Amino acid sequence: MVARGIADWPSASMGVVGSSLGGFYASVVAQRTGCLAVLLNPAVEPARDLAKYIGETTAWHSDDTFIFRPEFVDELRALSPEAITLPERYFAVIAKGDEVLDWREMTARYEGCRIKLLDGGDHALSDFDDHLPELVRFLGLAT
């Protein structure tokens, strides 16, 4: 669905930003299009991490329930890039204090990429506003 939505976008001048699972998807888009990507505490192995939620589960921010199907895990596995190419296209902000994902896995996955490793922080990057000017510059949206 994302690929169809961005098919006509100018990949040489576009950038994507994603957090957590969105960071995984941003990596997929960057690998396939060659665009820049900003990743905020990106999920690196979502197929592995989400497999334990197969079945009926509750949405993260509400009591709404939904069915998480095994084929969703297969789709994530199929999307997963084998290796990061052109690491200069990536900027990852990674918090050692992330309570959901392991910062060591994130830094290993994006080794060679630009990484801003925060000593504390949290999964939500509650101090996101502090990092925004640097991310905007990386994406070429400001001088």
Instruction: Report d(CA 103, CA 32) in Å as an integer.
Output: 25
Instruction: Report d(CA 96, CA 72) in Å as an integer.
Output: 28
pLDDT of residue 119: 96
DSSP state of 59: -
Classify residue 95: in a domain, yes or no.
yes
Domain count, the chain: 2
Confidence of residue 11 (pLDDT cuts 50, 70, 90): confident
Looking at the structure, tell me whether residues 96 and 128 fall in a common domain: yes
* DSSP, residue by residue, 65-116: EEEE-HHHHHHHHHH--SS--SGGGEEEEEETT-SSS-HHHHHHHTTTSEEE
Tens digits of residue pLDDT in 87-119: 999 999 999 999 999 999 999 999 999 999 999
Tens digits of residue pLDDT in 41-83: 999 999 999 999 999 999 878 899 999 999 999 999 999 988 8
Looking at the structure, tell me whether residues 92 and 128 fall in a common domain: yes
- Domain final position from 34, 55, 79: 79
> Which residue range forms the structural domain that includes residue 68?
46-79
- Domain final position from 54, 79, 104: 79
- Reduced to 3 states (helix: H, G, I; strand: E, B; else coil), residue 56 is strand
**pTM as predicted:** 0.92
Looking at the structure, tell me whether residues 129 and 90 fall in a common domain: yes
Looking at the structure, tell me whether residues 60 and 124 fall in a common domain: no
Q: How much is the average pLDDT of 19-36?
A: 95
Looking at the structure, tell me whether residues 64 and 35 fall in a common domain: no
